[in-house]
Structure 1
């Protein structure tokens, strides 16, 4: 099967829902679980991106030491402070019950940006996936690396899960070397999609989007400026915002990659090919969505 090139013209065949007049509940509720004492901003970047992608409501669950600052930095969000380990990460065992309550009624969850420990983070993501049977999930960063050990559980939720690994995270997921993943990222993405029955966004200079039914899309845009700290957090946030709006996982992944990449192109043109910041990407998304609606 040949790949489809991810372009604006092709995405016109997969239009996003058109927002109607009504309450914020109709645009969906997103929850971002992320951040640590050393990387609190990852959850902020993702949360703001979710709102810029059109989610109606946002919750951010992060370590207790960062919660007050997060609430002030993102006044649009409800912020939940979670139990914290001595190392400054989320205490998964202590946070699980709090998260189940906080996530009740949410349409989409993002787990991973800025979280510290791979194993406990993956286990917490799987526990939430089991506890929230009607929500869509995107698993990123630390939530991805240990998924192979939970493959049977993830497969049971086919049609609800997107993962967004870079080469290092994919290498841990598949127990391959990073060099092997970088040599054939499409094979890695297809293997992970089959293993987990999830939509896979294999991030890189050329990004592959693969689903377990065999669809494969390639996005070659964006530019070198997107290779910057926090860029992946913004991408994950855009995707969870689209999922919250009711966009199906494959379409949310395709649109998320495209919007993120095109935002990078615009910043490269206005700021320079490198040196723009991940925090600036989200602001370009509403304009790109307006153009898509037109």
Structure 2
């Protein structure tokens, strides 16, 4: 039986992130590549990319649908933006994307992407570096995942419905034993599993697990998962550790929800507002 360790501020202080005060340049804080968005959900790329920078990552590149690329570049002048065609039209990943990937410390694929099978082919062709931490979210979480064995550090961030789809079981089966299903997927894929809900479970391949009970109702809103995925990717770029990035990401995301619930109310704050709380919370928790 898996024993779950609670995620609390005291735990995080005992497991610190790299000290930003000794960082001499943006290169020291890592590079993130976010592959996200589509013609119908372009904002997911903005939400996840913003979160990656708010987590303290040093450099950011975004690859998104060509129809959204110019607007995204204007909305996020901090990033280099690559315009991509529809995934199904690719014979292979565009050369610009492969060149960008060669220089990153963390890769995020999936927020706002459509077509699980196409996203899965993309991730299989891109996840190659044993040092690069990859975060797969939303559109990248298809049924093909359960037969994958990731050779590089990888984080999967499904909600309960996505977990059911990956495992080809019902949502009710996931509800009945979320820890067991997440633990088995972690073991077979070699990935860290972040199973998201009001109570979030994190399972790692060696059988250890974490639990976070600090979610607030307002975090259950469109785009919140995109923000969490970007936060984890940004933290992974800084620390290079998939498990630490997942644990810290879930904790800081939850704390940001608590702050916004106190300031705005339990419901009604927006996903775009969550990332703004990260820098201060990361500083406070690290003390």
The interval holding the TM-score normalised by the smaller chain is over 0.9
Residue 234 (1) aligns with residue 231 (2): no
Query: Do the aligned partners of 1:36 and 1:90 also contact (CA within 8 Å) in 2?
Result: no
Q: Select the residue among 119, 136, 139 that pairs with 1:139.
A: 136
Query: Do the aligned partners of 2:32 and 2:59 also contact (CA within 8 Å) in 1?
Result: yes
Structure 1: segments with no counterpart, 5+ residues = none
Q: Select the residue among 219, 228, 234 that pairs with 2:212.
A: 219
Query: Do the aligned partners of 1:92 and 1:121 also contact (CA within 8 Å) in 2?
Result: no
Partner Cα distance (2:212, 2:94) in 1: 36
Q: Select the residue among 187, 194, 198 that pairs with 1:201.
A: 194
Query: Do the aligned partners of 1:209 and 1:218 also contact (CA within 8 Å) in 2?
Result: yes
Partner Cα distance (2:8, 2:144) in 1: 30
**Residue in structure 1 matched with residue 33 of structure 2 by the alignment:** 31
Q: Across the two proteins, how many residue pairs are aligned to each other?
A: 285
Q: TM-score scaled to structure 2, two decimals?
A: 0.95
Query: Do the aligned partners of 1:63 and 1:90 also contact (CA within 8 Å) in 2?
Result: no
Query: Do the aligned partners of 2:146 and 2:185 also contact (CA within 8 Å) in 1?
Result: no
Structure 2: segments with no counterpart, 5+ residues = none
Query: Do the aligned partners of 1:54 and 1:245 also contact (CA within 8 Å) in 2?
Result: yes
**Residue in structure 1 matched with residue 159 of structure 2 by the alignment:** 166
1:133 CA displacement: 3.6
Q: Select the residue among 52, 55, 58 that pairs with 1:56.
A: 58
Q: Select the residue among 70, 73, 77 that pairs with 1:71.
A: 73
Query: Do the aligned partners of 1:92 and 1:120 also contact (CA within 8 Å) in 2?
Result: no
C-alpha spacing 1:223/1:64, structure 2 compared with 1 (3 Å): same
Partner Cα distance (1:100, 1:150) in 2: 24
Q: Which runs of 4+ in 1 moved over 4 A?
A: 89-92
Written as runs of structure 1 = structure 2, the 5 A alignment for 1:257-268 is: 257-268=250-261
Partner Cα distance (2:240, 2:29) in 1: 10
**Residue in structure 1 matched with residue 49 of structure 2 by the alignment:** 47
Query: Do the aligned partners of 1:222 and 1:263 also contact (CA within 8 Å) in 2?
Result: no
Q: Select the residue among 98, 103, 113 that pairs with 1:105.
A: 103
1:146 CA displacement: 2.9
1:59 CA displacement: 0.4
Q: Select the residue among 263, 283, 286 that pairs with 1:270.
A: 263
Partner Cα distance (1:187, 1:262) in 2: 26
Partner Cα distance (1:98, 1:62) in 2: 12
Partner Cα distance (1:47, 1:293) in 2: 23
Residue 148 (1) aligns with residue 145 (2): yes
Query: Do the aligned partners of 1:171 and 1:177 also contact (CA within 8 Å) in 2?
Result: yes
Query: Do the aligned partners of 1:37 and 1:65 also contact (CA within 8 Å) in 2?
Result: yes
Cα shift readout 1:155-192 (whole Å, capped 9, x = no counterpart) = x33xx101000111111111111111122211121111
Partner Cα distance (1:27, 1:78) in 2: 17
Query: Do the aligned partners of 2:93 and 2:125 also contact (CA within 8 Å) in 1?
Result: no
Query: Do the aligned partners of 1:167 and 1:202 also contact (CA within 8 Å) in 2?
Result: yes
Partner Cα distance (1:253, 1:149) in 2: 20
**Residue in structure 2 matched with residue 114 of structure 1 by the alignment:** 112
**Residue in structure 2 matched with residue 16 of structure 1 by the alignment:** 17
1:3 CA displacement: 1.2
